Amino acid sequence: MTQPSATTAARILDGKAIALEIQNEIRDEVAALVEQTGKRPKLAAVLVGDYPASQVYVRNKEMACKRVGMTSELIRLSAATTTEELEQLIERLNTDEETSGILVQLPLPKHIDAQRILDAIDWRKDVDAFHPYNVGLLSQGRPQFLPCTPYGVIQILYRSQIKTAGKKVCIIGRSDIVGKPLASMLVQRSSPIGPDWANATVTLAHSQTPNLAAVTSDADILIAAIGQPEFVKAEMVRPGATVIDVGINRLGERLVGDVDFESVKEVAGAITPVPGGVGPLTVTMLLNNTLIAARLKNGG
């Protein structure tokens, strides 16, 4: 009889496979919408300047649109673009009949007032869910759009059958893009997937949290979204916990997450890799939001 080993390596949650599964579903829904309305959902992506990571992200978004049968338009602007010029472009896209969703790739050059630009996007086309109206709806538990990365995290958990209801979830990182909206979603009474993927007891930890390791190692589900390479070490993780790594950092030649994958996978029960974890889900949920925006335009 074989003896169980003292430590069993974690189950690797394959974000790429989950993303492809969801993209297949979206592709069918796009085809049905085109059949019904004669109109193809279209994403307009605005890229200002030449920040290298943004070039990659935007290209991935364009390829993903193609895969599900959506149209995309990439609008490239020089780094010298002013806030006023960008605002005028947003206004044109807001009223453009063909455009279902608008995405302004972040970060914007420092001289541009990013908040003013994000506020200028029509909330009905706000596929990132960054507009204050959409943030407010989410906070009240009646979202129109769910922010892409947080919803991607919940989809990974759902499609891996890891429920959040009744669990202690610790999120490290209080950003407006990931930490805050994800906490907001997980504490709700339900989610679009149902009550089993909501109803968590959430701790939102950050750089000023005292004794962080004690807080993180109390969690059943630990989500790292801090933007620091390999920050989460094995000692910070409860044995058997699920660890979701939202980070994408360049460490020399390597792409690494916010979690020290090699050591943490020895204690965790389940873990997402980087790359191939949360990243593919972010793009996929953007496609989902573009489909929702296209339906909104066609009367819901």
Residues with catalytic annotation? 61, 105, 128
Q: How far from the centroid of its chain's Cα atoms is residue 286's Cα?
A: 8
Q: What's the closest the beta carbon of residue 179 comes to ligand GUN, in angstroms?
A: 13
- State the number of binding residues for ligand GUN (CB under 6 A): 9
Q: How far from the centroid of its chain's Cα atoms is residue 25's Cα?
A: 18
Strands 254-256 and 249-251: antiparallel
Q: Interface with ligand GUN includes 128 (CB under 6 A)?
A: yes
Q: What's the closest the beta carbon of residue 36 comes to ligand GUN, in angstroms?
A: 29
Nearer to ligand GUN, 99 or 282 (CB): 282
Nearer to ligand GUN, 239 or 275 (CB): 275
Q: What's the closest the beta carbon of residue 203 comes to ligand GUN, in angstroms?
A: 23
Q: What's the closest the beta carbon of residue 290 comes to ligand GUN, in angstroms?
A: 13
**Interaction mask 144-183, ligand GUN, x per CB under 6 A:** ----xx---------------------------x------
Q: Interface with ligand GUN includes 267 (CB under 6 A)?
A: no
Answer yes or no: are the C-beta atoms of 9 and 267 closer than 8 Å: no
**Interaction mask 269-298, ligand GUN, x per CB under 6 A:** -------------x----------------
Answer yes or no: are the C-beta atoms of 276 and 14 closer than 8 Å: yes
**Interaction mask 90-109, ligand GUN, x per CB under 6 A:** -------------xxxx---
Nearer to ligand GUN, 59 or 235 (CB): 59
* Sole residue written with tokens 């504490």: 187
Nearer to ligand GUN, 23 or 149 (CB): 149
> 271-292 burial, b if ≥16 CB within 10 A, otherwise e?
bbbbebbbbbbbbbbbbbbbbb
Which of 286, 280, 278 has the alpha carbon at shortest distance from 261?
278
- DSSP per-residue codes, 147-206: -HHHHHHHHHHHHTT---TT-EEEEE---TTTHHHHHHHHHSS--TT-GGGS--EEEEE-
Strands 201-205 and 168-172: parallel
Q: Interface with ligand GUN includes 245 (CB under 6 A)?
A: no
Q: What's the closest the beta carbon of residue 124 comes to ligand GUN, in angstroms?
A: 17
CB-closest chain residue to ligand GUN: 106
Which of 82, 73, 99 has the alpha carbon at shortest distance from 48?
82
Distance, CA of 79 to CA of 263 (rounded, Å): 41
Q: What's the closest the beta carbon of residue 83 comes to ligand GUN, in angstroms?
A: 16
Nearer to ligand GUN, 69 or 227 (CB): 227
Distance, CA of 88 to CA of 76 (rounded, Å): 14
Residue type at position 256 = V
Nearer to ligand GUN, 121 or 186 (CB): 121
Residue type at position 163 = K
Positions in the binding site for ligand GUN (CB under 6 A): 103-106, 128, 148-149, 177, 282
